[in-house]
Structure 1
Amino acid sequence: MRRHMIVPVPAVVVSAVLVLAACGSPSSDEDGGVRTPPPATASGTAGTGGGTGGTGGTAEPGEPRAVATGLEVPWAVAFLPGGDALVTERDSARLMRVTRSGEKKAVGEVPGVEPGGEGGLMGVAVSPGYSDDKLVYLYFTAASDNRVVRASYDGGELGSPEPVVTGIPKAGNHNGGRIAFGPDKMLYIATGDAGDSDLSQDRDSLGGKILRVTPDGKPAPDNPFGNRTWTYGHRNVQGLAWDDEDRMYATEFGQNRFDEINLIERGNNYGWPEVEGEGDREGFTNPLLTWTTDEASPSGLAYADGSLWAAALRGERLWQVPVDDGKAGRPVARFDSGFGRIRAVAEAPGGSLWFATSNKDGRGDPGPDDDRIMNVPLG
């Protein structure tokens, strides 16, 4: 798959930017790279260049409104059938329930979580059969690994977790952590390479992958390699989303130059560590979109209203990326002042987005109300 250039940029300009990015950016999970297509500039909700290169319009979102404040590093948001949300707090290991009216309460502290660095209590997903099975799924860093567990939750206290997938490599960073049920009702798990890039190309390792498993944690039917691996060659995936045609997308942290959004397809190799960003090399899949270091560090990802919405940590904004038939239009930066680092974003019932700040994670500048969950009207 080739990356789609919407706005042509002279090669000499691209080369100059590449050199500057490579020389000026230290290696860390907060790094990005050269972007394509070039983003429009938008401050707050006022887009100033919503051109999309033929992929449809970029409808402007409404003004964000605070749903909940005073959270401790909220990492992921998943909605229950009634419209309330379950929110993980990375460092406290608490699972919070947040109502649409803004009430919040802890429903349990997840046992076995060992926060440290970028690890802790991370992803959360609600079973597609929740009305019957009352199960929720959680991804966290334990003493010896990252793992996915599930526990009963009937609206009261969280039940005792049982393992679903264990043995995912852990480290101080590159822990992945996003989980989501796809349209096929299989569980998708985003993992990082845990600082060992060789794991990403090892299809039998759980590190540097997007895994696809049954709700019980077994390799899903029709997986390409007969194990849990769905795609490989990833560095650190932290966002998963599907569009209206069930195409899958993922955000990924680069090393020195390139942060990415990828169109995820069965069995594909996304290049790390042989390729960072676009490589045009046989056997590797190019990104759909890349960003510069200071614009991105993309974590959570959602699809709503014809666009992907990518939460940017170092970039301190929410990126709106119109997509059509698996092609990306021109990104627009939203809410790039007044919110700081944005970690999670999710489509909420009723036609809006919720996004969560991450200013208490040790890399931000928290305000008196942080961390916050904001509600953004769409349409």
Structure 2
Amino acid sequence: MRIPARGAARGLTAVAVLALALTACGGTPATPTPFPTAATSSAPGLRVLVTGLEVPWGVAFLPDGAALVTERESARLLRVAPDGAVTPVGTVAGVVAQGEGGLLGVAVSPDFATDRTIVVAYTSAADNRVVRLRVGADGTVDGAAQQVLVSGIVKAGIHNGGAVAFGPDGLLYIGTGDAGRRAPAQDRADLGGKILRVTADGAPAPGNPFGTAVYSLGHRNVQGLAFAPDGTLYAAEFGQNRVDEINRITAGGNYGWPEVEGVGKRSGFTDPLVTWPTADASPSGLAFAGGALYAAGLRGERLWRVPVTGPGVVGTPEALLTGEYGRLRGVAPTTDGTALWTTTSNRDGRGDPAPDDDRILVVPLAP
């Protein structure tokens, strides 16, 4: 499935650089091939589902088709129904919203039908942490009744990461940021600038490459994680001055930061699958749907569609919704696979909010 193009809207000045193959062991990909950037497209049938939100960040669908949405600034958890009805279900205690920090990602347990639990990432007064919460029979969440899964992730005004996702293996994956410190992203003993993999109780997952919670390293700021149906893990990452990235993540992979930004072709580092100039992306949310990755761009103010034809094999990206709704933050496929929910982030201090911001958009996926 894909969003059909409706003709070129705005021309793009950037060239997306892609690697068309990645070794099975997760090593350096083949020499990247430059492609002309695809024309920007709109999305026929797109509709605004919700307005008036306060910096929505994470989106995670419940089995009944409604979604839980986090608000970074207010620390509220919202239940959003498919018809757009919004119900506040709880406020997460201990959240300190400063700079890019606050209430961040949310993930629904794969065993939600029996355990009624969710996971959220947030910035506290001392650190970034990931906690487990329980959804009551009435749908509400006691935001103070937390089981801490991972704590001690360094915090700062920038680069707090915040992505959380359950993998097909039932384990929890966590994207963290380097908190602006750069070098510790290469330190296996430091939780910043990493992707972590832990059990449902927060213990380092069996089989992790270093015997700790660290799954991969050398990341600058990971705010988007997505699994393909074949189990391949992809991550969206903010670059610094030159390029943003989508990476294929493998156990023990080193993605270069701060030694390498973008494609470095250096031994010991894994090059990205896709790069964009930072003005065209700043990718936050990431989702896999209908044979493609969808990356929501903040600074780029667009939704990128990247076709995936095999593990680590990608086609030419297509830019959707360029400049139409401002900064885009979260993206998640609906439970029935017919659409994406995408959130705007125009009230985060870096956008130009419209009177009805922030919004949730429903972007149809064509069969």
Instruction: Provide TM-score, normalisation by structure 2.
Output: 0.89
What is the match of residue 303 of structure 1?
288
Q: What SS does structure 2 have at the residue aligned with 1:42?
A: coil
**Given that residues 110 and 166 in structure 2 are in contact (C-alpha distance below 8 angstroms), is that contact kept between their aligned partners in structure 1?**
yes
In structure 2, which of residues 297, 311, 316 is the aligned counterpart of residue 330 of structure 1? 316
Provide the secondary structure at the position in 2 that maps to 1:131. Answer: helix
Unaligned runs of 5+ in 2: 1-16, 22-31
Contact 1:314 1:341 in 2 (8 A): yes
Q: Spell out the pairing of 1:158-169 with structure 2 (5 A cutoff).
A: 158-159=141-142, 160-169=145-154
- Find 2:86's aligned residue among 104, 111, 123: 104
Report the Cα offset of residue 37 of structure 1: 4.0
> Is the contact between residue 35 and residue 290 of structure 1 (CA under 8 Å) also seen in structure 2?
no
Contact 2:240–2:278 under 8 Å retained in 1: no
Q: Residues 164-215 of structure 1, C-alpha deviation per residue, up to 9 Å, x if partnerless?
A: 1000000000000010001101000000001111211011111000000001
2:168 aligned partner, one-letter code: P
Instruction: Answer yes or no: is the 8 Å Cα contact 2:53–2:357 preserved in 1.
Output: yes
What's the CA shift for 1:43? 3.4
Cα offset for 1:35?
Answer: 9.8
Greater RCO, CA 8 A, separation 6+: 1
Q: Structure 1: which 5+ residue stretches go unaligned? A: 7-33, 46-61
Percent of pairs with identical residues: 58
Match of 2:57 among 75, 92, 95: 75
Cα drift, residue 293 of structure 1: 1.9
- 1:63 touches 1:376 (CA, 8 Å); kept in 2? yes
Tell me the equivalent position of 1:58.
Answer: none
* Offset at residue 86 of structure 1 (A): 0.2
Distance 2:318 2:94 in 1: 40
Residue 40 of structure 1 corresponds to 38
> 1:110-121, aligned counterparts within 5 Å?
110-121=92-103
Name 2:223's counterpart in structure 1: 238
Q: Distance in 1 between matches of 2:111 and 2:104?
A: 22
2:213 aligned partner, one-letter code: R
Q: Distance in 2 between matches of 1:176 and 1:37?
A: 30
Compare 104-113 and 148-157 and name the one that shifted more: 148-157
Looking at structure 2, the residues matched to 324 and 212 of structure 1 have their Cα atoms a distance apart, in angstroms, of 26
Q: 2:188 aligns with which of 172, 184, 203?
A: 203
Give, in angstroms, the shift of residue 241 of structure 1: 0.5
Query: Contact 2:18–2:273 at 8 Å: present in 1 too?
Result: yes
| TM-score normalised by length of structure 1 | 0.86
Aligned position for 1:128: 110
1:250-272: CA deviation from partner (whole Å, max 9, x where unpaired): 00001110100001111100000
Amino acid at match of 2:299: R
1:36 shift after superposition = 4.8
Once the two structures are superposed, the pairs formed by residues 46-57 of structure 1 within 5 Å of their partners are none
CA distance in 2, matches of 1:211, 1:36: 32
Match of 2:140 in 1: 157
Other-structure match for 2:12: none
Q: How many residues align?
A: 335
Partner residue in 2 for 1:357: 344
Equivalent residues of 1:38, 1:331 under 8 A apart: no
